[in-house]
Amino acid sequence: MNKFFNELHRRNVIKATVAYLVASWLVLQVLSIVLPSFNAPDWIMKASLLVMVIGLPVWIIISWIYDLTPEGLKKTDELDEEETVVARTNQRLNFFILGALVGVVAVLLLRPAGKLIKTEDGKYAIAVLPFEDMGSNDENAWFGDGVTEDILTNLSQFGDLRVISRTSVNQYKNTDKTIPEIAEELGVSYVVEGSVRQTDDEMLITAQLIDATDKHLWSDNYRKTKDNVFDVQRDVSQQIVEQLKLTITPEQQKIINRPLTKNQDAMKLYLKARDMSDVSEGVSAIPIRQSIGLLKQAIELDPEFASAYAEIANSNFLLVTGGHLPLVEGEKETREWIKQALEIDPNNARAYSAIGFINAFKFCVIEATDIFWDNATENLEKSIQINPNDHRVLHHYAKLHNWGKNGKNRDEDIYLKQLELAIQIEPLSYLIITEYINALIVTNKYDKARELLLEKKFILGEYPGRNIHYSIVESWHQKDWKAGLEVWKKAVEDHPENANFWVNLGYKKISVQNDLSKAIKDFKKAYELDPKTGVDYANTLIENGDFKIVESLMKDQDFINAHDDNVVSKLMYYNIYMLEDYEKCIDEFDNLEPGEFENTIKAISYYKLGNKDKANEIKTKHINFDFNKITYFSEINQRDSLYHYLDKLEFFIAEIRIRHLYFTLRKHKNDPRFVAFLEKNYLPVISNK
């Protein structure tokens, strides 16, 4: 054996192998720094490593067979023993190894090892994925969501973090996507993931922090009893903050140390309520009211559950904005819940946002006064200060500055900036994406709007987002809504099986061509493809006076299967109104689950029957949105009020209002003020045919 090692030494095999390994390591480190700068594919690095691994035995064989001499490479067997161990040969390998080691040290010193990745605005972008439930007990499945919720709440208060919202991360529950794929879609550099498993009376919780390249930065396991299980959220949040080297203020430490609630049953009800209100988004009153009921149960279990009080306040606000609760009554109830939330937790961001939402809503729909503006901005800014990662608050704050103080002098910079922040936090939100596209349109940033439409195609899809907003971009840019009509003609030509494309083409024919008969053909085609589009078809038939066809349509079994009873009742109610049976409108109202539009019809009916006081009472109490105010003042022919609200409309909103309010606005086609409104918004003048 000694003879073999002596031979290895004589042939310089050991030094040659060391030199190869050091040089290979150095090359790999340089490549790991250089390749990302050129966006090189991953296979280049993998291929380089494979070549070096394969090359090692080849190099060892070569160093055994050959030796480096002053005259070049020679076979070792052809050299005398003394000639192969001369000092010059050894020195060359020594110098090479020494030089390579110097290179290694230089790379280690210059390489930004463990460098934390920030966004362009200097924030750390992070997503907390829903913790996976590893147990088989469905009763405990909610607990992983509870862990996620508390960690999100804790991290969201840090201004140095850009924390993705729960609604976006929830879309990755039980996903098969990899961490790099999720990180790319959400636009984050870091991801928190974990799991929960229950064993007897214990909870085993695993949490880990991973970067966008799937590199694990930190992980830990926690074994807790049910009584102290909420300590996990605190510990995980603390570790993440420390890993990202953030400074924690005493107030932030208090929030981390204090869970939303220590009552597991209350937390379970709270999470279920949040899910219901998130899905409804104010469209339907039923899930919102059910959500409020669950939150009240949570408060009974934990009267100190401040976030539950604040959530009820926000749900009440949704009922008001959805037209399901009168403003005066809704505001009173909302403020009572806000008061209780702030008495328990004076720094509850959600409570301050609710105050801001109320005042912003009143500023928009009641009167653009300084007091509403000041109260809205003050409370929204307070909420942002406590929690800079609430996309809803940023969204409302942006819209407030789009309206501008006194309804004028909007601040486009704040409008765009706040929407950009909101879209970073809620990157998968259709609502915020489309709002941002509209913001780019009204600020004449057409190219950026087109880029965003392509970038967010996987969220917007072909319908309704991409084509609708593409048609708006082109129409605004060309100052002609016919451009939007051409978009939808091309859409149905390319996708004749898409019912929603036919619906949008029909609406464009109403607003651009003022032709209900042509639109009805498109709506009928849509209904034949998908009965769920029957409401659009029925409404247009009603507005065209085809009442018997409507009655037959609503008896069609496909229509009945596609729509719930309340939808059918509202259509029948609208049909009664268009037949000018105002007394029946009033009588049938109590048989509905009315929204704001049905209240508008009821108010108009009273006015038409001569009871103007009752009409005004209903208007004041129940009609908040400009859409319904335009309908009301148009139908009772109060033109000054009508044009007050029409003139407030943005370019693209004006087109939407014309197509949906054509049934009433066509009555004013010969009014010079209405003609001027159409021309200002690049809409065709309605003909007298």
Structure tokens at 440: 């780019």
Q: What is the pLDDT of residue 235?
A: 85
Q: Are 35 and 45 in contact (CB under 8 A)?
A: yes
Nearest to 436 by CA among 424, 423, 455, 451: 423
Residue 472: predicted pLDDT: 75
The full DSSP string for 524-572 is HHHHHH-GGGHHHHHHHHHHTT-HHHHHHHTTSHHHHHHS-HHHHHHHH
pLDDT at 68: 58
d(CA 214, CA 220): 17
Map out the domains of the chain with their CATH numbers: 2-110 (no CATH), 124-259 (3.40.50.10070)
Task: Tell me how far CA of residue 136 lies from CA of 14, 132, 167, 201, 591, in angstroms.
Answer: 57, 12, 25, 15, 45
What pLDDT, on a 0 to 100 scale, did the predictor assign at position 87? 47
Amino acid 188: pLDDT? 92
Q: In whole angstroms, what is the distance from residue 71 CA to residue 74 CA?
A: 8
Q: What pLDDT shows up at residue 366? A: 74
Residue with tokens 């149960």: 297
CB–CB of 675/665 below 8 Å?
no
What pTM value is reported for the model?
0.70
Ranges in the chain, pLDDT < 50:
83-87, 112-114, 282, 463-465
pLDDT at 639: 94
